[in-house]
Amino acid sequence: MNQSIKDFITLDKCKTILEKLVKINSTHPKGNEMDMVRAILTIFEKYNIEYKVFDHSENRGSLVITIPGTSSKESIAFLGHIDTVPVEDYDEWKYPPFDAVVDGEYMYGRGSADMKGGVTSMIITALYLLEKKITPSKDIHFCFTADEELNGIGALAIKDSGILDGTKEIFIAEPSDEKLGLAEKGALWIEVVVDGLSAHGSRPDLGVNSIEYLIEYINQFRTAIDCESTNPLLGKTTFSVNEFNGGVKTNVIPTQSKASIDIRTIPIHSHEDIINKGKEIADKLMKDKNSLSIRLNVENNRPAVETDREHEFIKKLKGLCEKLSYEASYKGLHFYTDASQIIPDLKVPFVILGPGDDAMAHQRNERIELSSVARIAEIYTNYVLEN
């Protein structure tokens, strides 16, 4: 394969760029992704690049850098988010989470794996094209998105701008342990609020116990969802009650209770159908009991998405990885990515392929192997040149 690519993608280059990014605190809830946008642009300051900044206000921003191709009718897009989850246990880290310390083969720091390592691979790919004055066959969009860890405002803004309208293939640079991620689970978060009727604990017959009805509702809802069908990459849909609150005192029938349910779906399941089932169960319970109210609030709704392994995009990419002597096995991701915000509308094939172990995401002592960043940059660059 292209030796000049290997020579260009040095571990020192990976370290220098990744260090710059990890040292920027872009954690939620503030995000401050505009600091990341400014830092990325400084990396390209000696080049005359085509770019667009998306200002989401309050120092939150996204960025798209475009390398024009010989044909602008089609494009390839790379997506990487520049926000990270917070650090809640700062003093428990081996190294300070924003110092970007290198120990052996690894760089430690919040966001190193999820996913500033992948962002670094994207940046190096763009730098190679610019440095070598290469005009690819298609436009190449490098999309750096804000707010992936919460509402996805960056991916949505880029999608709505029309920049990706001609895109035929999408790389999501999330950590995938360098495997080809063809599917990700959907996330449906539902808050259930039950209002009943208060009464003295000695006279439950005079009240409507919101906790008991909430438990009954959850049991019926869980039973109504298919958690047995299996996806070969993702396993089964899961249903987990992760918050439960209700009651004020042992001798008082509780008036209001709440629960938050985290449903992680496989692609065959429609979120609309699940929500409708939840409403039907609530309506049935309320019909049989006066002074009972059950409300559903959808807090997060990201559908499961999947690319067929027989798609030409995946076959080309798998062949390239094999030529580079890199592993080309498939996997599914149990967490959601920016793909859930754009693939349902764009309906184009995608792959989740990035450096680092996805098990490191959101973990204390998060780290990434610098050579993994280099290998993924090599795959990205070779793919762009061959397509």
Cβ neighbours of residue 144 under 8 Å, at least 6 residues apart? 36, 37, 40, 62, 63, 64, 65, 80, 81, 82, 119, 122, 154
* Delimiting residues of CATH 3.30.70.360 domain(s) in the chain: 186-302
**Amino acid (one-letter) located at 193:** V
Q: Interhelix angle for 370-386 vs 312-323, to 10°?
A: 120
156: its two tokens: 């949505």
Q: For residues 165 and 323, what is the distance between their CA atoms, to the nearest angstrom?
A: 31
Collapsing DSSP states into helix, strand and coil, what is residue 100? coil
Predicted confidence at residue 123, as pLDDT, reads 98
pLDDT tens, position by position, 88-144: 899 999 999 999 999 999 999 999 999 999 999 999 999 999 999 999 999 999 999
Cβ contact 62:145 at 8 Å = yes
Distance CA 387, CA 384 (A): 5
Q: Which residue has the tokens 């050579």?
A: 371
Q: Please give the Cα distance from 271 to 78 (Å, whole number).
A: 27
Tokens 């066959």, located at residue: 137
CA dihedral 333, 326, 6, 174 (to 10 degrees): 0
Structure tokens at 378: 């090599």
Quick one: residue 306, left, alpha or beta (phi over 0 = left, psi -120 to 50 = alpha)? beta
Span 186-302 CATH architecture: 2-Layer Sandwich (3.30)
Mark the ranges of the chain whose per-residue pLDDT is less than 50: none
Let me know how long the chain is: 387
pTM for this predicted structure: 0.92
The CA distances from residue 357 to 112, 149, 320, 367, 369, in Å, are 10, 17, 21, 9, 9
Residues of the chain with CATH 3.40.630.10: 3-184+305-386
Q: Does the domain formed by 3-184+305-386 have CATH 3.30.43.10?
A: no
Helix (H) or strand (E) holding 16: helix 11-22
Structure tokens at 124: 């190096």
Tens digit of each residue's pLDDT (9 = 90 or more) over 238-283: 999 999 999 999 999 999 999 999 999 999 999 999 999 999 999 9
Which residues make Cβ contacts (< 8 Å) with residue 261, sequence separation at least 6?
Answer: 189, 190, 191, 192, 218, 221, 239, 240, 241, 242
Q: How far apart (Å, rounded) are the C-alpha atoms in residues 336 and 366?
A: 19
Q: Which pLDDT value is given to residue 1?
A: 54
**Residue 305 — φ and ψ, nearest 5°?**
-135, 155
Give the model's pLDDT for residue 324: 94
